[in-house]
Chains A and B, each alone.
Chain A
Amino acid sequence: MSELGKYAPLTYFQLMEVSLRELLVEKGVVSNAEVDAVAADMKSRGPERGARVVARAWTDPAYKKRLLADGTAACEELGLDVPALRLVVVENTPEVHNVIVCTLCSCYPRMLLGLPPDWYKSSNYRKRVVREPRAVLAEFGTRIPDSVTIRVHDSTADMRYMVLPMRPAGTEGWSEERLAGIVTRDSMVGVALAQAS
């Protein structure tokens, strides 16, 4: 709600959410405090968790190997709790570029990247990135040469995906913390590349 108190009618889905929530509270299934706590927890998580994982993989080849073999276990190693998440990490290389989508809804590795951006949930992105990934990536400013294979990953069921971007040139000798600072959300979805500056 805007602080100016501007009135806007609830959308269909907002109304449905409010109605369902109020019913659940009224019937004692959940309390308002519980709903608030979960919402606050979701909002507090951001892509810096995923960035920590990427920075570790960039600096520790043995960790990277474990991450690609079992993403969930490798996150737990860093103390990142990833409940209900079977994480598959896909690695970008000079030959292969990966990009993630959920065409059926908006499955997203929230435990590592936080809430998905609106464009990820839009039907435009979901419909188009599977059939013209190069054009969609170009709209994000990411031009992938034809010589590089593009792999699209559609999260249709129980797995969640995260892209391990390529470590940019010019970051030799950087600390893990400094590296984590250049790992963006979009680079972990695969619509952008990690950049040194």
Chain B
Amino acid sequence: MVEAKFQPGDRVKVMKAYPLGHIRTPYYIRGCSGVVERICGAFPNPEELAQMRSGLPAQPLYRVRFAQADVWPDYRGGRGDTIDVEIFQHWLDRE
């Protein structure tokens, strides 16, 4: 299992990368910055599982909370509105 680098409350930025394959990081959230809401645990890497490999060592998975106004420039709604997305550690950089 890969050790968790981030803690709840840490500010993180999602990598803006476009690799091919089975990627569980949605396009719309790539390049966005948010705050770690919780550590969900560690799970086999789905990008590797999709290639019939073990996905080990397990990767820490986080729920990251983003402000909607940061994700969608034209967002209409409350300033406090948020979106939570589960993101694997190897997609996150410290901000």
Residues on A close to B: CB < 8 A? Answer: 86, 88, 103-104, 130-134, 146-159
Tally chain B residues at the interface, Cβ within 8 Å: 28
Report Cα–Cα, A155/B86, bound state, in Å. 7
With contacts A104-B26, A131-B72, A156-B25 taken as known, whether A149 is within 8 angstroms of B41 at the C-beta atoms is: no
Chain B residue at minimal CB-CB distance from A146? B78
Q: Which 9 A-B pairs have the closest CB atoms?
A: A157-B86, A149-B80, A152-B83, A156-B86, A150-B81, A154-B85, A158-B43, A153-B84, A134-B77
B77 with A150: CB separation less than 8 A? yes
- Report B65-95 residues with CB < 8 Å from chain A CB: 65, 68, 71-72, 75-78, 80-88
Report Cα–Cα, A147/B81, bound state, in Å. 10
With contacts A104-B26, A131-B72 taken as known, whether A157 is within 8 angstroms of B80 at the C-beta atoms is: no
Report Cα–Cα, A133/B40, bound state, in Å. 25
B81 with A156: CB separation less than 8 A? no
With contacts A131-B72, A158-B43 taken as known, whether A151 is within 8 angstroms of B77 at the C-beta atoms is: no
Shortest A142–chain B CB gap in Å is 14
A152 with B82: CB separation less than 8 A? yes
A157 with B77: CB separation less than 8 A? no
Report Cα–Cα, A153/B26, bound state, in Å. 13
- Could you pull out 28 A-B pairs where Cβ atoms are within 8 angstroms? A86-B41, A88-B63, A103-B28, A130-B83, A133-B81, A134-B76, A147-B78, A148-B78, A149-B78, A149-B81, A149-B82, A150-B78, A151-B65, A151-B81, A151-B84, A152-B68, A153-B84, A154-B29, A154-B85, A156-B25, A156-B87, A157-B24, A157-B40, A157-B61, A158-B40, A158-B41, A158-B61, A158-B86
Chain B residue at minimal CB-CB distance from A145? B78
Q: In the assembled complex, which residues on chain B have CB atoms less than 8 Å from the CB atom of A131?
A: 28, 68, 71-72, 75
Q: In the assembled complex, which residues on chain A have CB atoms less than 8 Å from the CB atom of B71?
A: 131
Q: In the assembled complex, which residues on chain A have CB atoms less than 8 Å from the CB atom of B84?
A: 151-154
Chain B residue at minimal CB-CB distance from A130? B83
Known: A88-B40, A154-B84, A156-B87. 12 other contacts (CB 8 A): A104-B26, A131-B68, A132-B77, A133-B77, A146-B77, A150-B77, A150-B81, A156-B24, A157-B24, A157-B61, A158-B86, A159-B86
Shortest B35–chain A CB gap in Å is 13
Q: In the assembled complex, which residues on chain B have CB atoms less than 8 Å from the CB atom of A104?
A: 24, 26
Q: In the assembled complex, which residues on chain B have CB atoms less than 8 Å from the CB atom of A150?
A: 68, 77-78, 81-82
Report Cα–Cα, A88/B85, bound state, in Å. 13
